[in-house]
């Protein structure tokens, strides 16, 4: 696992500039560094040594005749098989790295190489002969890739902060991204919070030549249910496929550990991975916010060592500026901080951990997926529900009223992902300036169009796979692990696992309780049964345990004078007044403290933006 940076065109002293950019992301690879420059390009690499840990694996790496050069971030789990194919085709290798497999593979197959890969990756290859740059990002977006065109220069790399060191970089806030963020809690499009800086989206590659960039999608998820296998057969297939994925994800020349919460996903990984160490964090002693006791008992039952940490409120709040610095863009997911600390304690003992991200999106695990057909009301005629919803929308907001409003809308109208913070009307009330940001439904529509005719559960899964997972779940997983020079691997997010999951009928992804032990699971139904099958008998109850996933008590903290005061000071700052109307912000905060409403997530969304803005625009990228 590593970090990459680069730029095209001419600057004075390119070695100095690329070195400064590399220094910004040293945390991604403290073991080694390397660079390549010529009259048209500069490439830089920071290395965290995992495979072929000798210096022969240092990057950049060249092909046989030195006409192509690569910098790579990630792991290719089937590189040995591809390497054998390439050797048979006449390619000569000088290392045992997966990096060299990529450059020879691109020589042999061109962009079609991407379809042969199994792993997580972002990389660029410079062809010195054709003067063409090729870059790609993995299937799910596990590894990041950003780019910016500033004047005649193209910058690219693993983290936006490296661009700050380039003399052509112009730092401007993208207020459109701010307005979108207020609804989604993350940046939901190709645009970032920095104007003219973009993400290469998951499962896409680019070609850049003579100042022109072409971007293409090379892979997608296709939910096509196969109704022939029985439930028991699906459970067996899930078990076999996931065991194979975990084996592949353990390939390393260093020790591998595993994160552990109380949910089925991380427990399933830890139970079958046969690692020696697991890692857990929590808050206080309340079981609502602390899973350490459960994790220690589970680890003991499977014969593993558990390392844990209780995060104090002072540590949590004191780390926010540093967290947002590493995040590059504001992310209002409170669990990102908990993830930082569990990565931190793991990094003290090893370099690689396995984690359970992706299971909910792939196998249908979020509770909201049981909503489309979860009650008798859902089986009423669509027109009747829409009429009732229209009437209900004119009434004062209330839990029961909101139910009818929500049920009166099609999934495309009401579901934008697992977080819906501020409605378009609410964010307009908050913001001082008109940004021209699209509606949430405009952003999500391009994904819904690809799954027209599918059932609502499938539509929601597809949306989350392409938006929520890449924009929130995987963003924090990469940035928080790399902040600690730790490689985080996600065996659920495997091309083979996805190829199986997209064929599982909806009724085996999300089912409804019938009051028996065998049908007691609502979401991730078939996967839970597979986990139960593969989990030691004394710990099999984890398959039915409600997941908490490192929960954070911000709702409680925001009612305490100390933390209420910190947020109020931010809301009344000059930066806040530049972007927001202060009165509605203070009302959100006061109503929450007074118990009139739980506004904690909305408050957090605005507050985190202000923390991030202070780091990057008031402190010039310092925390």
343 is catalytic: no
If you search the block for the tokens 């550990």, which residue do you land on? 257
- What value, to the nearest 5°, has the Cα angle with vertex 437 and ends 436 and 438? 115
- To the nearest 10 degrees (0 to 180), the angle between helices 600-613 and 175-184 is 150
Please state, in angstroms and as integers, the Cα–Cα distance from residue 409 to each residue in 351, 387, 406, 575, following that order: 47, 10, 6, 37
Nearest alpha-carbon partner for 255 in 172, 178, 350: 350
SS3 44: strand
3-state SS, 428-441, equals HHHECCCCCCCCHH
The kind and range of the H/E element at 111 are none
The tokens describing 328, both together, are 């590059």
Distance, in Å, from the CA atom of 187 to the CA atom of 180, rounded to the nearest integer, reads 7
Q: In sequence order, what are the beta bridge partners of 134?
A: 125, 207
- Please state, as a whole number, how many other Cβ atoms lie within 10 Å of the Cβ of residue 277: 19
SS3 207: strand
Of 2, 50, 200, 497, the catalytic one is: 2
Secondary structure of residue 8 in the 3-state scheme:
strand
Q: What is the spatial distance between Cα 488 and Cα 157, in angstroms, rounded to a whole number?
A: 19
Backbone phi, then psi, for 319, in 5-degree steps? -95, -5
3 state DSSP class of 193: coil
Q: Express the helix, strand and coil content of the chain in percent, nearest 5 each.
A: 45, 15, 35
Q: How many helices (H) and strands (E) does the chain have?
A: 27, 17
What span, in angstroms and rounded, lies between the C-alpha atoms of 592 and 599?
Answer: 5
Alpha helical stretches, state H, 277-419:
292-301, 313-318, 320-327, 335-347, 359-363, 382-392, 399-407, 411-414
Active site residues: 2
């Amino acid at each position: 696992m590593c970090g990459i940076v680069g730029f095209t065109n001419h600057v004075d002293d390119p070695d100095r500039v690329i070195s400064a950019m590399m220094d910004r992301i040293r945390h991604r690879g403290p073991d080694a560094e390397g660079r390549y420059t010529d009259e048209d390009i500069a490439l830089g690499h920071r290395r965290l040594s995992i495979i072929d840990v000798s210096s022969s694996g240092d990057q950049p790496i060249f092909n046989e005749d030195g006409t192509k050069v690569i910098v790579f971030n990630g792991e290719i789990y089937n590189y040995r098989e591809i390497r054998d194919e390439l050797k048979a085709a006449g390619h000569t290798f000088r290392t045992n790295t997966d990096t060299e497999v990529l450059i020879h593979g691109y020589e042999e197959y061109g962009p079609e190489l991407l379809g042969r890969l199994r792993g997580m990756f972002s990389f660029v290859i410079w062809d010195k002969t054709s003067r063409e740059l090729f870059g790609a990002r993995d299937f799910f977006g596990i590894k990041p890739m950003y780019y910016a065109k500033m004047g005649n220069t193209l910058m690219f790399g693993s983290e936006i902060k490296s661009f700050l060191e380039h003399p052509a970089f112009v730092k401007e806030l993208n207020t459109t991204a701010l307005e979108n963020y207020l609804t989604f809690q993350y940046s939901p499009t190709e645009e970032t919070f920095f104007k003219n800086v973009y993400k290469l989206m998951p499962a896409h590659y680019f070609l850049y030549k003579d100042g022109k960039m072409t971007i293409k999608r090379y892979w997608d998820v296709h939910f096509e249910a196969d109704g022939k296998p029985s439930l028991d057969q699906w459970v067996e297939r899930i078990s076999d496929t996931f065991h194979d994925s975990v084996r592949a994800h353990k390939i390393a020349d260093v020790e591998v550990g595993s994160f552990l919460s109380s949910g089925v996903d991380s427990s399933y990984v830890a139970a079958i991975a046969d690692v020696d160490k697991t890692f857990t964090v929590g808050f206080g002693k309340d079981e609502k916010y602390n899973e350490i006791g459960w994790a220690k008992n589970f680890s003991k039952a499977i014969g593993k060592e558990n390392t844990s940490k209780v995060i104090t409120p002072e540590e949590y709040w004191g780390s926010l500026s540093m967290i947002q610095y590493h995040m590059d863009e504001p992310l209002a997911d409170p669990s990102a901080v908990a993830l930082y600390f569990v990565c931190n304690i793991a990094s003290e003992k090893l370099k690689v951990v396995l984690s359970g991200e992706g299971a909910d999106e792939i196998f249908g695990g979020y509770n909201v997926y049981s909503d489309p057909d979860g009650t008798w009301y859902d089986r009423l005629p669509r027109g009747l529900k829409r009429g009732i919803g229209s009437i209900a929308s004119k009434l004062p907001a209330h839990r029961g009223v909101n139910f009818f409003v929500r049920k009166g809308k099609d999934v495309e109208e009401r579901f934008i992902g697992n977080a819906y913070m501020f409605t378009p009307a609410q964010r307009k009330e908050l913001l001082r300036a008109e940004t021209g940001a699209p509606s949430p439904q405009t952003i999500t529509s391009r994904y819904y169009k690809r799954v027209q005719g599918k059932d609502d559960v499938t539509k929601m899964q597809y949306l989350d796979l392409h938006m929520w997972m890449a924009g929130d779940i995987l963003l924090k997983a990469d940035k928080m692990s790399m902040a600690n020079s730790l490689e985080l691997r996600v065996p659920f997010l495997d091309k083979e696992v996805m190829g199986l999951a997209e064929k599982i009928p909806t009724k085996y992804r999300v089912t409804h309780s019938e009051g028996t032990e065998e049908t007691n699971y609502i979401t991730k139904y078939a996967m839970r049964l597979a986990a139960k099958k593969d989990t030691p008998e004394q710990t099999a109850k984890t398959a039915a345990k409600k997941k908490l996933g490192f929960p954070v008590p911000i709702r409680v903290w925001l009612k305490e004078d100390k933390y209420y005061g910190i947020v109020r000071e931010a809301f009344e700052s000059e930066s806040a007044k530049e972007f927001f109307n202060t009165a509605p912000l203070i009302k959100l905060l006061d109503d929450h403290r007074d118990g009139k409403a739980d506004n904690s997530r909305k408050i957090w969304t605005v507050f985190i933006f202000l923390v991030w803005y202070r780091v990057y625009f008031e402190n010039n990228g310092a925390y």
